[in-house]
Amino acid sequence: MEQDLANLAATVAELKAKADGTGTTFSETFYFLTIPLMVLIHAGFLAYEMGASRSKNALASGIKNILAFALIVPFFYFIGWWVYWAFPTGLDLSAGPTGASGLAYANEVAAPWSPNMGPNLDDRSSGVFWGAFVLFAATTASILSGALIERIRLTGFVVLATILGAFVWILAAAWGWHADGWLVTKFGYHDFGAAGVVHMIAGFFTLGVTMNLGPRIGKFNPDGSANAIPGHSMPMTLIGLMLIIAGFWGFLMGCVIVPGESWSWSVTQAASIYGTPMTLSGMTFNTLMGMAGGIIGAWMITRDPFWMMSGALGGIISCAAGIDLWYPPMAFVIGFAGAVAMPFIASFVERRGIDDAVGAFALHGCLGMWGLLAVGLAAQGYPALSGPDVIETSFTGQLVGAVVMALLGFVPGYGVSWLLKIMGQLRVPAEAEITGLDKTKVPVEAYPEALHGAVSPAE
């Protein structure tokens, strides 16, 4: 009898070990798949920005995007990941309620010399989760990139993109996208899909930069009226926007905590970054409904294919903060409302003499803010964290979070770009801008024949 019980216990232990191994493999695979999906975001931004540029600037626009992506990766390895775990409770670097934060914890799991930051066979997952966050960081840089096309220096852009991606946005994530974040624990801030900590941060950072960078030559007339400066390939821009939307599914996957790994904080079902329950079913309903509402809203206002596709993205961003909470028809309405407002916001900014070439501030900054406030208006009262007797979401908490995100984005964006402007490292010379950045900065041509009237010897 005792032998039978021992055999049964051994069998149960073996089955549990296999189940744990399966759960670990699933969670690793889940996050691993977010990475190539989010790379689609950057393929989309590449096509989107090159298409939105005039042919004389197409390759220069692409190069700055690719280089920023490459530089953010090592900077995020050495700085950004440590910031996320060190600063959730604020500048005192103390540990928060979960214990997964503070100086000691950051040094343990995220310092470059930590075993977790290398091929440690006892920790197969940290690099995968880190990789998903790196792609979030690179997304903020790509949001910045589009607004600045055709006149920013490559060196100035790389500095700005690295500061945004490797420090500013991840500080926002530590405060508002971590279960120990002070915005969450003290104000009940809720931002499931990173409408504030990614989109608002990048949008308001971009606003600060564009104010110092100035408009493209020929954008504004002496009376202040604006001229349209169309890109050379609207089809490329539309395809790029659709790729961004495809990649957004990976972005949202990276916002989910799945059971089975060290970072899961003992959740037993899919959860938000705060440990509160969510379902992939609800996320799917709301993403598609928000996207559809955004397309329809932008089309009704503009009939412009560029704004239609931007509206698709804008509808998702509008719903993102509460995408785990909305009833699907509500997601449609929120996405519709955001997309309807977006072109008017872009026109308002343009009338103030600011040249945001792709409407990045309107799309990401303002609709990210709308997404945060929508949670405060229509989804207040939900628990902001897992567990009993926790703070609830509220309009006040969402408003505080929105103000923090706006300031944390705008102030460093304006300040760093102002310093670069003083140093002569922000904007290319007027002669280079007029001639075209491809001719002056790139050793090859984007269209060596088709757009320059050249004919082949046979002709």
Q: What angle do CA 394, 396, 401 make, to 5 degrees?
A: 100
pLDDT tens by residue, 288-339: 999 999 999 999 999 999 999 999 999 999 999 999 999 999 999 999 999 9
Q: Could you tell me the two tokens for 379?
A: 């989804």
**Where residue 454 falls among pLDDT bands split at 50, 70, 90?**
very low
Residue 437 has pLDDT above 70, yes or no: yes
Q: Which one, of 428, 346, 358, lies nearest residue 56 by Cα?
A: 428
Mean pLDDT of 67-85: 94
Q: What is the pLDDT of residue 297?
A: 97
Residue 459 has pLDDT above 50, yes or no: no
Instruction: Give the residue, 428 or 33, on which the prediction is more confident.
Output: 428
Q: Are 192 and 321 in contact (CB under 8 A)?
A: yes
Mean pLDDT of 260-289: 82
Query: How far is it, in rounded angstroms, from Cα 323 to Cα 375?
Result: 9
Q: What is the pLDDT of residue 140?
A: 95
Mean pLDDT of 115-137: 86
Q: At what angle do helices 201-213 and 169-176 cross, to 10 degrees?
A: 150
Contacts of residue 287, defined as CB under 8 A and 6 or more positions apart, other chains included, come to 248, 249, 252, 316, 319, 323, 331
Query: How far is it, in rounded angstroms, from Cα 69 to Cα 63?
Result: 10
pTM for the full predicted model: 0.91
Mean pLDDT of 16-44: 73
Query: How far is it, in rounded angstroms, from Cα 80 to Cα 71?
Result: 12
Lowest mean pLDDT among 23-32, 36-45, 155-164, 220-229: 23-32
pLDDT tens by residue, 120-129: 877 777 888 8
Other beta carbons less than 10 A from residue 51's beta carbon = 21
Q: Is 226 helix (H, G, I), strand (E, B) or coil?
A: strand
| Three-class DSSP labels, 143-207 | HHHHHCCCCECHHHHHHHHHHHHHHHHHHHHHHHCCCCCHHHHHHCCCCCCCHHHHHHHHHHHHH
Q: What is the pLDDT of residue 401?
A: 98
What whole-number percentage of the chain has pLDDT above 90?
72
Instruction: Give the residue, 126 or 9, on which the prediction is more confident.
Output: 126
Query: How far is it, in rounded angstroms, from Cα 454 to Cα 459?
Result: 10
Q: Where are the domains of the chain?
A: 21-441
Q: Which one, of 427, 384, 354, lies nearest residue 150 by Cα?
A: 427
Phi/psi of residue 343, nearest 5 degrees: -65, -35
Lowest mean pLDDT among 24-38, 40-54, 325-339, 376-390: 24-38
Q: Could you tell me the two tokens for 20?
A: 């744990």
Q: Could you tell me the two tokens for 256?
A: 């989910």
Cα dihedral 144/295/302/55 (nearest 10): 40
Phi/psi of residue 176, nearest 5 degrees: -125, 5
CATH fold of 21-441 reads: Ammonium transporter fold (1.10.3430)
Among all chains, which residue has been given the structure tokens 């010399």? 113
Mean pLDDT score of the chain: 89
Query: How far is it, in rounded angstroms, from Cα 436 to Cα 451?
Result: 14
What whole-number percentage of the chain has pLDDT above 70?
90
Mean pLDDT of 342-348: 96
Helices marked H in 303-327: 305-320
Q: What is the pLDDT of residue 263?
A: 58
